[in-house]
A and B are shown apart, each in its own frame.
Chain A
Amino acid sequence: MRDPIATATLRIMDQNDSTESAGTTLSHEDIVKVARLSRLKLDEEALEAARTDLSAILGHVARIREVDVEDVAPMPRPLDTVNRLAEDEPGPTLDRSVVLDLAPVTEGDFIAVPKVLGEGGA
């Protein structure tokens, strides 16, 4: 059953929609690449579902292309705050054993990971 409240929400956005959203359809190749860059291992079914969802979301997102942004400087933070540097003084830190206890696999005082050398570099 489609939820009537959710559908009503959708109509609000569409009523002022003068231009059809520019088509943004991801290819199978695109989604395979995005999954790899995201460090996710998806099967074919999950890849196809992701391709459909992302295409629909990007189709909606594409309306930002309708806005005239010529000569507008990008705003990475909402307020024009100035970066603040801390004094370079040592402060309290967590005990090593506390941090090591969080790691899934440890060997002695080290966090253990699979062998990284000899893979030919990913």
Chain B
Amino acid sequence: MTDPCNIDRRDDLTHRIDAMRRGETTATDRLEASLTAIDRRNDELNAYHETLEDTARAVASEIDGRIARGEEARPLAGAILAVKDNICTTEGRTTCSSRMLENYRSPFDATVIRRLRDAGAILVGKTNLDEFAMGSGSEHCAWGPVRNPWATDRVPGGSSGGSAAAVAADLCDAALGSDTGGSIRQPAALCGVVGLKPTYGRISRYGLVAFGSSLDQIGPICRSVRDASLLYSVMAGVDPHDATTAELEVESWNESMRPAPDQLRIGIPREQRNAEHHPGVSEMFERAIDRLEAAGTSIVELDLPLTDQGISTYYVIAPAEASSNLGRYDGIRYGHRAKPMPGEGLEELYARTRTEGFGPEVRRRIMLGTYVLSAGYYDAYYKRALQVRRLIREEYDRAFEQCDLLLGPTTPGPAFRIGAERDPVSEYLNDVYTVNANIAGIPALSIPAGSTEVDGVGLPIGVHLQAPPFAESRLFGAGSTIESILAD
């Protein structure tokens, strides 16, 4: 039976680029089709903040000319990409879904944007997100929530929900997201697409609006694993503008390097296998394990006892770093400034500006971060979280002595309803399986694993593959193998 949430992974970006090279279609025709699709569906999905059609049309036309003249050899020529609206682009605005940056126009391109443009990509638009990337449902947005294309009364996940929804609804070939605690992988899982969070230091964050600087990574959201590898290969590598980028050569990967299933040694954390998930998640995860075993993959059960310490650790480190990073929004140099009041001093202006500019979730995290860093609490929260972080990292190191990769569910449940009553803690727990990869800096990939029926509607489920630092090639190889095992 065909999965109701299955997108055709053979009709992916890699395939579409080949089709343009062969002259079967043109960048201009494809761009017009994308713009028409966005026009038709965006009122409902709210995935895009804006399209960048003028530049996009000019670039598409230029690429078509180069292809016609036989001059086009760039790896992403004619790729139609959407960009999460917390990544700086010189066209359009970069709002972070915040009133604070409602009219902000970046005077520079992020490094990843520059690299994608140089590789021939067409940037079609900026996508909606949770304000400053803080959220798991793309509901905390200044201009309304994003809707899941498979069930429009449900969230697409977050915070890169606009990017994931745009890829799932085929409103672009692929999209960029950012991932601080699961913000690429969780929405990819909930929308039935592929999402990659690379190793910390692998892709430049220059031009990514900072949230948690020891956690943030930019990564692709795509229709297939090979597409993720293609975008990764263009974006990865050292950047003089980001001192945290690693001076390690980026390995190239292609599908011919895909391992046979019986060459894989996959670790399954007992804490994730035995947890009480939504039944659809357990079913799809067990199905994935069964299929891998049937294909000859060696499955190793192991323990990651600190799995459920991840959220607690993350909700100290991430808000602490956010409270510091968001200190820059004071209404002086750029962004929103509150209307002046007679006799008001600078401190008062800062406070009114920030209270008007930030939404409730961002204010909550700034206060949480400020609290855990304040005198008297620093050791009990921040320092301790950094110690637990090292233990989480060491736990991964030990796990990767027993297996090549770890496999688990990406999320504990499928997409939840928009506007459902939730306290902050229960929303945060959506990221229970994804945050530890950020805490430890390791690369991780979410792959579609099927769907589950909830209230008569099929909702996508993802599986989560984690690898040691800088082992993205291993992730692409195993991911591609698992992708085809699960899709058949």
Contacts and interface: CB of A to CB of B under 8 A. Distances in A.
Interface in B408-425: 412-417, 420-425
A104 B367 contact: no
Contacts of B278: 5, 8
Nearest to A75: B390
B383 A54 contact: no
Nearest to A61: B312
B414 A73 contact: no
B440 A78 contact: yes
A38 interface: yes
Interface stretch (B31-39, B229-237, B345-353): B345-353
Given A67-B391, A72-B387, A73-B387, A78 B441 contact: yes
A119 to B, nearest CB: 5
A122 B388 contact: no
Contacts of B381: 61, 64
B392 to A, nearest CB: 9
B304 interface: no
B137 to A, nearest CB: 10
B370 A37 contact: yes
B335 A64 contact: no
B336 A10 contact: no
A48 B7 CA distance: 46
Q: Which of A1, A3, A83 has the most CB of B within 10 A?
A: A3
A111 B363 CA distance: 26
Contact of B351 (A39, A61, A63, A116): A39
A31 B416 CA distance: 31
Contacts of A61: 312, 315-316, 372, 381
A105 B367 CA distance: 28
Contact of B333 (A15, A30, A103): A103
A84 B366 contact: no
Interface residues of A, number: 66
A40 B424 contact: no
Contact of B430 (A9, A58, A104, A122): A9
Q: Which of A9, A12, A72 has the most CB of B within 10 A?
A: A9
B238 to A, nearest CB: 9
A5 B281 CA distance: 11
B420 A1 contact: yes
A57 B368 contact: yes
A3 B421 contact: yes
B429 interface: yes
Contact of B104 (A3, A99, A102, A115): A102
Contacts of B323: 38
B64 interface: no
Interface in A37-67: 37-42, 50, 53-54, 56-58, 60-65, 67
B331 interface: yes
Nearest to A74: B386
A90 interface: no
Interface residues of B, number: 96
Contacts of B354: 38-41
B315 A94 contact: no
Contact of B349 (A10, A57, A69, A114): A114
A81 interface: yes
A78 B214 contact: yes
A114 B337 contact: no
B338 to A, nearest CB: 9
B469 interface: yes
A3 B363 contact: no
B163 to A, nearest CB: 22
Contacts of A60: 311-312, 315, 425, 428
Interface string B308-325: 110111011000000100
A61 B385 CA distance: 9
Given A10-B429, A63-B309, A74-B386, A103 B332 contact: yes
A40 B346 contact: no
Nearest to A43: B355
A2 B334 CA distance: 40
Contacts of B424: 53, 56-57
A70 to B, nearest CB: 9
Q: Top 9 A-B pairs ranked by shortest CB distance?
A: A78-B441, A3-B420, A74-B386, A104-B337, A69-B387, A102-B334, A75-B390, A41-B351, A5-B413
Given A40-B351, A57-B424, A78-B439, 9 more contacts: A2-B420, A3-B417, A9-B412, A61-B372, A67-B309, A72-B391, A73-B387, A81-B246, A114-B346
Interface of A: 1-3, 5-13, 15-16, 26, 30-31, 33-35, 37-42, 50, 53-54, 56-58, 60-65, 67, 69, 72-79, 81, 83-84, 86, 94, 98-99, 102-105, 111, 113-116, 119, 122
21 contacts: A3-B422, A5-B454, A6-B416, A9-B412, A9-B413, A37-B374, A38-B354, A38-B363, A41-B348, A41-B354, A42-B363, A69-B384, A73-B387, A73-B390, A74-B386, A98-B107, A103-B334, A104-B332, A114-B349, A116-B346, A119-B345
